[in-house]
Amino acid sequence: MALKNAPFADISLDAFAANVAHAKTTLAVQSQLMVAVKSDAYGHGVAELSQVAITAGADALAVLDIAAGVSLRPVIPETPLLCWLLSPHDDFAAGAKARLDLGISSLWQLDTLSSVAPGMATRVHLKIDTGLHRNGALAKDWPGLISRAAELEKLGHISVVGIWSHLADTSLAEDRLALERFHQAVAHATEAGLSPKILHIAASAAATDLPESRLDLVRVGISVYGVSPFDDRSAEDMGFAPVMALRAPVISSDAKTGIVILGIGYGDGVLPLAPNTGWVIWGSTRLDITSVDVDQIVLHCPAPQVPEPGEVLTLWGDPALGSPRAEDWASWGNTIGDEVVTCLASHVERRFISRSH
């Protein structure tokens, strides 16, 4: 195998395209599919994956803030692009000019937008809090928000295209209750004179397990990156394949002690696992992880032979090699798979691999 001296992540554009197409038929079903490409597409590479998502059937994309939306707009000039977390630091005028959809949960956001981008009929999605208490207008503030939105829509400043919320995904019973609250909020908005065409509340988990939450659009993130949102099912069980395979070179090895050093560490964004937790694969041999240090991982190889310096081992995401999955790292680190892939440092090279894109 060729000598490599730095870690890298293979990003399979084919796996991502297949996952998006699978999400479209199994999760969106009769709804539109919005693919979440926030946080640099969960650490995979936002520009490359956004284009593939659209080709594979995504109807819309979503990022967090306006700056992320503005920089992505030239890459995807036509597709609806929702920015769902707005702060006073965001440039609302730039957002309107870039024809972004804005997720609105407060009066100040409506007022800022209409004052800096008057008459532009900027597309907005009003967000109601249905119990998660993370962003979203509280029930007590909803009447004020929808009545101001109706006024501003009449004046041509905004166009209320959607109403949305986000579920806690802690239990189906909680989510059903949240869905009821959501429908009540939509009814109040209709009474206030609004006629939003796109109602949306479900992310990966609810779109999978609570079909009545799919409504007009589902916002799917982690599943299309081939990582499961559940503890009791793998992404493969759901028909999704890993998109990121993280690889690193062996930088030294000693057959006498079985100690093998991999050239990657938590300084590269790998989870700092507790000592003696987890493993990586070498052929058919599992090498136990002794420690994850800042710039290296110390492994112990039980076999009489050890991998040679320069050989590349896979930390996660290559089922054909029998490697661990990102979800395995998540369980070793007591976190979720989202963190495992998203935290990979930006200096680690992403190698986009595709036969068809």
Ligand X SMILES: Cc1ncc(COP(=O)(O)O)c(C=O)c1O
Options 93-101, 136-144, 191-199, 216-224: segment touching ligand X (CB under 6 A): 216-224
Kindly state the smallest distance separating residue 288's Cβ from ligand X, in Å: 31
Burial class (CB in 10 A: 0-12, 13-18, 19+), 312: middle
- In the complex with ligand X, the residue whose CB is nearer, 100 or 273, is 100
Residue 182 touching ligand X (CB under 6 A): no
- In the complex with ligand X, the residue whose CB is nearer, 227 or 348, is 227
Residue with token string 């986000």: 166
- In the complex with ligand X, the residue whose CB is nearer, 240 or 332, is 240
Residue 72 touching ligand X (CB under 6 A): no
- In the complex with ligand X, the residue whose CB is nearer, 223 or 314, is 223
8-state DSSP, 73:
T
Q: Site for ligand X (CB under 6 A): which residue of 69, 229, 263, 265? A: 229
Dist. CA 333–CA 267, nearest whole Å: 16
- Structure-token pair, residue 288: 């136990």
- Structure-token pair, residue 228: 């499961």
What end-to-end distance do the CA atoms of the chain give, in Å?
Answer: 26
Report the DSSP beta bridge partners of residue 252. 261
- In the complex with ligand X, the residue whose CB is nearer, 110 or 222, is 222
Buried b (16+ CB within 10 A) or exposed e, 76-93: beebbbbbbbbeeebebb
Residue 329 touching ligand X (CB under 6 A): no
State the number of binding residues for ligand X (CB under 6 A): 12
Q: Site for ligand X (CB under 6 A): which residue of 16, 84, 92, 240? A: 84
Residue 238 touching ligand X (CB under 6 A): no
Options 92-100, 106-114, 197-205, 308-316: segment touching ligand X (CB under 6 A): 197-205
Burial class (CB in 10 A: 0-12, 13-18, 19+), 3: exposed
Site string for ligand X, 26-65 (x = CB under 6 A): ----------x-----------------------------
Q: Taking the alpha carbons of 337, 338, 339, 340 in that order, is the dihedral positive or negative?
A: positive
Could you give the count of Cα atoms lying within 13 Å of 104 in the half-sphere of its Cβ? 32
Residue 203 touching ligand X (CB under 6 A): yes
Residue 204 touching ligand X (CB under 6 A): yes
SS3 readout for 248-283? EEEEEEECCCCEEEECCCHHHCCCCCCCCCCEEEEC
Q: Site for ligand X (CB under 6 A): which residue of 80, 221, 226, 278? A: 221
CA 79 to chain centre: 18
Site string for ligand X, 139-168 (x = CB under 6 A): ---------------------------x--
Dist. CA 288–CA 281, nearest whole Å: 9
Residue 240 touching ligand X (CB under 6 A): no
Residue 227 touching ligand X (CB under 6 A): no
Which residue's Cβ has the minimum distance to ligand X? 221
Kindly state the smallest distance separating residue 24's Cβ from ligand X, in Å: 14
Q: Site for ligand X (CB under 6 A): which residue of 220, 248, 270, 330? A: 220
- In the complex with ligand X, the residue whose CB is nearer, 125 or 247, is 125
The residue length of the chain stands at 357
CA 310 to chain centre: 33
Where does this chain bind ligand X (CB under 6 A)?
Answer: 36, 84, 166, 203-205, 219-223, 229
